[in-house]
Amino acid sequence: MQLAARANQLSPSVTLAISTKAKAMKAEGIDVCDFSAGEPDFDTPAHIREAAKDALDRGKTRYGPAAGEPKLRQAIAAKLQKDNALSYQPENIIVTNGGKQSLFNLILALIESDDEVIIPAPYWLSYPEMVKLAGGNPIIISTEASNGYKLTAEQLRQSITPKTKLLILNTPSNPTGAVYSPDEIRAIAEVIVERDILVVSDEIYEKILYDGAEHLSIGAVSPEAFARTFISNGFAKSYAMTGWRVGYLAGAVEAIQAATRLQGHSTSNVCTFAQYGAIAALEGSQEPVQTMLAAFTERRSVLLEGARAISGLSCSVPDGAFYLFIDVSKTGLGSLDFCKSLLDAESVAAVPGVAFGDDRCIRLSYATDMTSIQKGIERLERFVASC
C-alpha cells in the first residue's frame, strides 16, 4: 500500500513502546514502578463528575456547536481574565478535544509550506510532528540545564529569520518542569513584538507550581504582545480530567474561526456532557486542585532528593508540572538504551529524553504513589551502580 508522505514522515512514539511493554509486564504480575505516566493518578473531583452525570440526565447528549458550548466558552473567558489578566471574549475561544487538538488546529490554521516554527528543546514530543504535518519546518533551539532548560530572549532573537512565523512556548514545561519567571516572559515578549512573530503559549500545567514560582501568561505583558499571542490550555492536568478530552484555544477571532472550520470537518464538537463537567471545574471549588498540588509537592521532594543522591545522575529542580528530567549521560548510555535496560533489569518504566529532543536525559513522572517512588529510587540506584 502506498501511504501518503505525511504519514511516513512522522516519528514513531518512543514513549508508547516503553509504556506498552510496562503494561504487558504488569499484566503478567510483575511489580513495575511506572514513572512514565503523563497524567495525575487521582480521580476527577466529585463535583465535576456529578456535573457531567447531571448533564446526561438532562439530555445533554446531542451535537453541539463546533466551537464549544456557549456557557463553557464564557466560563473560559472569565477564567482567562481572572487568572491570567487576558481580555478574551467567548468568540476568541474554541473548545477542543484536549489541549493537543487546540495546538494541532492552530498550527494547521497558521502554518504553510516552509514557514518556520521555533521550538525550544527539550520539548513536548508532539510539537515538531504537528509542524511537519502542516508542511512547516520545526526549528529546534537547544537549552541547557545551567539555565533551567529555558530559552533566552537573545537565543530567540538570533533564531528568527524572515520565514519565522510562530514560537511555541511551554511553561510550566513538559518534560523539564521549568517555569519561566515574569522577567523572562517579559524579555521574550519584547522580542516577539520587536520581530513581529506569533507565539502560542501552552499553559496546560499552569496551576502546578512549587516554591513560590509565578506563572505569567505572555499575552498579559502588553497590548502588543496580546495581539500576537495564542493560549493553549485544558482540564487534563490541573483537574485530573485526562480521559475527558476537553481543552481550549484562545486568540485572534480570525484564527479561532479558521480553527473552528477545521474542527468542523474533523471531530466536530467536543463531547457535550463532558463540557458541563469542565464548566463545573472552572466555576466550582478549587480545593481539589490544591489537594493534588500538596501531594505532588511531597512526591517531588522525595523523588528529587532520591535522584540527586545517586552518584552519576544530575537533575535540575522543577518549579512546575510533575516531572524530573534527569541527566544520565555519565552512565555512558543513550536515553533509549538506558530506559529499555532499566525496565528489563529493574522493572522501572521511564521515558527516554530522545523523545523530547535531548538524548542525555530521561523523564520520570511523580504522578504516582509514594510507595512506587520509594521503591523506584532504590531500583534506579541499583541499576546505575551496575552500569
Candidates 315, 303, 295; CA nearest to 362 is 315
Residue 244, phi-psi category: left (phi > 0), alpha (psi -120 to 50), beta (remainder):
alpha
Helix/strand/coil percentages in the chain, nearest 5: 50, 15, 35
Which residues make beta-bridge pairs with 142?
121
Give the pLDDT mean for 275-291.
97
The residue length of the chain stands at: 387
d(CA 93, CA 248): 7
Mean pLDDT, the chain, rounded, equals 96
CA distances to 188, 252, 266 from 111, rounded to whole Å, are: 21, 15, 18
43 phi and psi angles, rounded to 5 deg: -70, 150
Residue-wise pLDDT for 302-336, tens only, equals 999 999 999 999 999 999 999 999 999 999 999 99
Could you tell me the three cell numbers for 9?
A: 514522515
CA distances to 187, 191, 224 from 194, rounded to whole Å, are: 11, 5, 10
Supply the CATH classification number for the domain 46-283.
3.40.640.10
Q: What is the pLDDT of residue 361?
A: 98
Q: Which CATH architecture has domain 5-44+287-386?
A: Alpha-Beta Complex (3.90)
3-state secondary structure of 134: coil
d(CA 196, CA 297): 38
Residue-wise pLDDT for 8-23, tens only, equals 888 777 777 787 888 8
Residue-wise pLDDT for 175-207, tens only, equals 999 999 999 999 999 999 999 999 999 999 999
Q: What is the pLDDT of residue 20?
A: 85
Give the pLDDT mean for 139-154.
96
Candidates 383, 18, 362; CA nearest to 176 is 362
3-state secondary structure of 307: helix
d(CA 277, CA 270): 12
- pLDDT-based confidence at residue 1 (cuts at 50, 70, 90): confident
Could you tell me the three cell numbers for 265?
A: 470537518
B/e letters for 69-89, b = 16+ CB within 10 Å, e = fewer, are beebbbbbbebbeeebebebe
Q: pTM score, two decimals?
A: 0.95
Q: What is the pLDDT of residue 128?
A: 96
Residue-wise pLDDT for 155-182, tens only, equals 999 999 999 999 999 999 999 999 999 9
Q: What is the pLDDT of residue 217?
A: 98
Where are the chain's structural domains? 5-44+287-386, 46-283
Could you tell me the three cell numbers for 177?
A: 518542569
